Amino acid sequence: MAARRYWLVKSEPESFSFDDLLACEDQRTAWDGVRNYQARNTLRDSMQSGDGVLFYHSNAQPPCIVGLAEVASGPYPDATQFDPASDYFDPGATRDDPRWILVDIRATARLERPLELEELKRNPKLDAMELLRKGSRLSVQPVTAEQWREVLAMAKRKAPKPTK
């Protein structure tokens, strides 16, 4: 059995928040709507059931990591690509040759406190995190085991004093 891996997924809380995930039956949902090839390849080729997931709120005030989740299925086709009524409909995709793949995500725990982007940026141990790279827009991205541990450790520490 392969070692557990770690990931970060972004979601705009206005469209789907961590609370929305907690409200789902079994706290799980199909992580649909990803329409970026690099993110698709990660979902399809690398994510495995049981992997750890950091749940990040983008376009939020402030943007922050709010919770933990896990990959709860293997990869399978995103049904929204076949649905003409969906915003995610892709006329170029067919059931025989699906273009977009997803996995299920299940919430496991809310963080002790939200970790704001600003605070993450100030932690030198997270310098190499994909989320913090300038211009990074990937909505599904890898996290190293060290980064995962550091994020969890930060959440257990007290919030830093505001700097402004």
Partner DNA sequence: GCCAACGTTGGC
Q: Which residues bind DNA (CB under 7 A)?
A: 10, 12, 35-38, 58-60, 63, 117-118, 133-139
CB of 31 to DNA, least distance (A): 14
Closest to 98 in 3D by CA, of 80, 125, 121, 86: 80
- Taking the least distance from each CB to DNA, the nearer of 4 and 20 is 20
CA separation, residue 31 to residues 35, 59, 89, 94, 107 (Å): 11, 18, 15, 19, 12
For the chain, the distance separating the N- and C-terminal CA atoms, rounded to the nearest angstrom, is 48
CB of 26 to DNA, least distance (A): 26
- Taking the least distance from each CB to DNA, the nearer of 32 and 118 is 118
- Taking the least distance from each CB to DNA, the nearer of 8 and 103 is 8
CB of 93 to DNA, least distance (A): 12
Beta bridge partners of 109: 68
- Taking the least distance from each CB to DNA, the nearer of 38 and 49 is 38
CA dist 66 and 93 (Å) reads 33
CB of 161 to DNA, least distance (A): 18
